[in-house]
Amino acid sequence: MNDIILLKQGEMVLKGLNKRIFEQKLMANVNRRLAQFGEWNVYCIQSTVYVEPKGECDMDGAFDAMKTVFGVAAVSRAAAAPKDAAAIVETAKTYLADTLRAARSFKVESKRADKSFPMTSIQLSQYVGGELHDAFPHLTVDVHEPELVVNVEIRDLAAYVHAGGEPGAGGLPVGTCGRAVTLLSGGIDSPVSTWMIARRGVEVIPVHFFSPPYTSEAAKRKVLELARLLLPWCGKLMVEIVPFTEIQEQIRLKCPEEYFTLIMRRFMMRLAENVADLNGCKALVTGENLGQVASQTMEALAVTEDACSLPILRPLIGMDKTEIISRAREIGTFETSILPYEDCCTVFTPRHPKTKPRLEDVVAAESVLDIEALVAEAAANTERVRIQP
């Protein structure tokens, strides 16, 4: 039996003359994800990517992996058959035998991408449905709410039979919409914002700010584990770990307490922009959410933005915490995010932070610091960790 995986595109089908660029990047990402499961032949015809095994391959592992590839709207495991009605029936009987025996009701849905096939979609569905009913007489036909839908697709190279697909990751292939630096803390929000921006086709470089002894090695390991959990979705990750202790201590010693967090955030933007410049990134990404904390009011966000020239993308800006937690559970980062290890954002938290700061006041407050020297020292001592599966 010629077992194959079919990957259906989503919004990529709307890309017009640029569509081929997106498809090529999708196939490159698919090939990268498949490498650990064997050797494959991957090609794209009529908005469907075909994944054919070459010899012995881990089909189950590959199928699950394809559900985490951005740009894939649905994943189906199918059997290829000659484009002949009788051959299609025999393939369905064999390939779906266990599924057909377990079901109580069914229907057949057919699609003809190859319009030269002699039967219409309705005729083919009726024929295959009748033959399967004869072969599995316990089944009843239910065209409205069947327990099982047998899918038949007539395509350029063959006919494909399957029992429906599973949802894919959606979005656009990573690498089609540029590169950005994403701020990755140990909390719930930033892994979700990283996932969401990667889903829009952005290749991400995570930056984590590390403040020993106020934050521990366990806290750093937690962040690296979050990056590892994001790896199947993001493709490849190099985490930049920026030492932040000296900056935070200087802020505590020389700046007004109510501006601690705002000045700290401005330093984060400067350092993230430095990483962006070195890696050809066109934007910064944060997990900020409007009104969630004092540093995320409109006024505070404007003060933070002023410290850098690159655009700051905030995928979570309009979400509430319940939605963010739900997405974190869905992508598998929540349980790690809630591990009780400290984060540099909680170091020297002001008792009464400014919620409506004026830019000129914050700039004046941080002017006592040697900003260029502090940024240069932190950048020079940045640690880079490549995340492995």
> Which residue in the block uniquely carries the two structure tokens 């009843």?
140
Contact 43, 49 (CB under 8 A): yes
Question: What is the sign, positive or negative, of the torsion defined by CA atoms of 80, 85, 86, 92?
Answer: positive
Residue 174 lies in a domain: no
Q: Which residues contact 307 (CB under 8 A, 6 or more apart)?
A: 265, 266, 267, 269, 270
Mark whether 223 and 290 lie in a shared domain: yes
Contact 78, 5 (CB under 8 A): yes
Mark whether 299 and 327 lie in a shared domain: yes
Would you state the pLDDT for residue 351? 84
> Residue 308 maps to which CATH number?
3.40.50.620
Phi-psi region of 333 (alpha: psi -120 to 50; beta: other; left: phi over 0): alpha
Mark whether 139 and 272 lie in a shared domain: no
Mark whether 253 and 347 lie in a shared domain: yes
Residue 172 lies in a domain: no
Of 135, 167, 199, at which residue does a domain stop? 167
> Residue 156 maps to which CATH number?
3.30.2130.30
Mark whether 289 and 378 lie in a shared domain: yes
CA 237 to chain centre: 12
Would you state the pLDDT for residue 1? 55
Residue 103 lies in a domain: yes
DSSP assignment of 96-151 equals THHHHHH-SEEEEEEEESSTTSSS-HHHHHHHHHHHHHHHSTT-EE-SSS-SEEEE
Of 167, 201, 226, at which residue does a domain stop? 167
Would you state the pLDDT for residue 54? 92
Mark whether 28 and 158 lie in a shared domain: yes
DSSP assignment of 292-307 equals SSGGGSHHHHHHHHTT
Count up the domains in the chain and report the number. 2
Residues of the domain holding 97: 2-167
Mark whether 138 and 251 lie in a shared domain: no
Mark whether 349 and 291 lie in a shared domain: yes
Mark whether 152 and 282 lie in a shared domain: no
Mark whether 188 and 69 lie in a shared domain: no
pTM (predicted TM-score)? 0.91
Of 167, 191, 219, at which residue does a domain stop? 167
Mark whether 275 and 304 lie in a shared domain: yes
Tokens of 278: 């070195």
Mark whether 256 and 116 lie in a shared domain: no
Would you state the pLDDT for residue 353? 87
**Local mean pLDDT, 10-residue blocks, the chain (389 residues):** 88 88 96 94 92 93 96 96 96 96 96 93 96 95 95 93 94 97 95 98 97 92 97 95 96 94 96 97 96 90 96 96 97 94 75 90 97 97 93
Helices and strands per DSSP (H, E), number in the chain: 14, 15
Length of the chain measured in residues: 389
Would you state the pLDDT for residue 349? 81
Residue 285 lies in a domain: yes
